[in-house]
């Protein structure tokens, strides 16, 4: 049987979802037998590849790089999974949205109003991707096939979803074990 091509992506999140993924411990061996990891922050690959079967997206869409990447991901992935609360709801990453509908207001708050020393917005062009005016959950930008909530999603929940996807089934997102946010 040909291996399932799995990608995992880290957008505007804390990497906690990926840490929880690594918490799958020895089941990762079983997973490795069934999938080929074609892109991931824990693998050294520069470009998002073509023809991916399953992509887990951790994090919300917060800057222009994220925005471009999610469109590429959607075009090249059969199944897209919103992986964790930041991807599903915006979560902590989107808390900045209450400051106002502008990236400028957010940067002002963080770099001019709050610092006691040297208040200045870092402006090295071409290095840090510009922030979007608003942080968005992934499904506000592209269609999403599976929602895997949790901050972070507990390892058994990640396993249940991946197991179903490997077997070609739709994961059953029902009940506290599978659905609780936070």
Partner 1 sequence: MSVVTLTINGQDVSARDDATVLQAAREAGIHIPVLCYLEGLSAVGACRLCLVEVAGVNRLLPACTTRVQEGMEVHTDTPRLQTYRRHIIELLFAERNHVCAVCVANGNCELQSLAIEVGMDHVRYDYVFPSLGMDLTHERFGLDHNRCILCTRCVRACDEIEGAHTLDVLGRGAKARIVTDLNMPWGESPTCTSCGKCAMACPTGAIFKQGSTVAEMVHHPEKLAFLKTARERREWRV
User: For binding to partner 1 (CB under 8 A), which residues are involved?
Assistant: 82, 85, 88-92, 94-95, 97-100, 134, 137, 139-140, 144, 147, 149, 151, 173-176, 179-182
CB-nearer residue toward partner 1: 169 or 176: 176
Residue 159 beta carbon to partner 1: minimum distance, rounded to whole angstroms: 17
CB-nearer residue toward partner 1: 8 or 153: 153
Residue 7 beta carbon to partner 1: minimum distance, rounded to whole angstroms: 20
CA distance 77 to 39: 12
CB-nearer residue toward partner 1: 58 or 85: 85
Residue 56 beta carbon to partner 1: minimum distance, rounded to whole angstroms: 15
Q: Distance between terminal CA atoms of the chain?
A: 37
- Residues near 25 by beta carbon (within 8 Å), at least 6 away in sequence: 155
CB-nearer residue toward partner 1: 64 or 177: 177
Residue 147 beta carbon to partner 1: minimum distance, rounded to whole angstroms: 4
CB-nearer residue toward partner 1: 6 or 17: 17
Residue 30 beta carbon to partner 1: minimum distance, rounded to whole angstroms: 25
């Amino acid at each position: 049987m040909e291996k399932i091509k799995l990608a995992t992506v880290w957008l505007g999140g804390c990497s906690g979802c990926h840490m929880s993924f690594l918490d799958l411990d020895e089941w990762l061996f079983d997973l490795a037998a069934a999938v080929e990891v074609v892109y991931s922050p824990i693998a050294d690959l520069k470009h998002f590849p073509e023809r991916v079967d399953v992509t887990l997206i951790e994090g919300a869409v917060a800057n222009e790089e994220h925005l471009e990447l999610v469109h590429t991901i959607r075009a090249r992935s059969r199944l897209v999974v919103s992986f964790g609360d930041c991807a599903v709801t915006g979560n902590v990453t989107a808390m900045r949205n209450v400051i106002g509908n502008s990236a400028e207001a957010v940067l002002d708050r963080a770099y001019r109003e709050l610092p006691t020393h040297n208040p200045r917005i870092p402006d090295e062009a071409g290095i840090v991707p510009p922030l979007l005016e608003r942080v968005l959950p992934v499904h506000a930008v592209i269609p999403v096939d599976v929602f895997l909530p949790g901050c972070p999603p507990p390892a058994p929940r990640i396993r249940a979803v991946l197991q179903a996807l490997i077997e070609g089934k739709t994961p059953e997102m029902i009940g506290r074990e599978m659905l609780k946010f936070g």
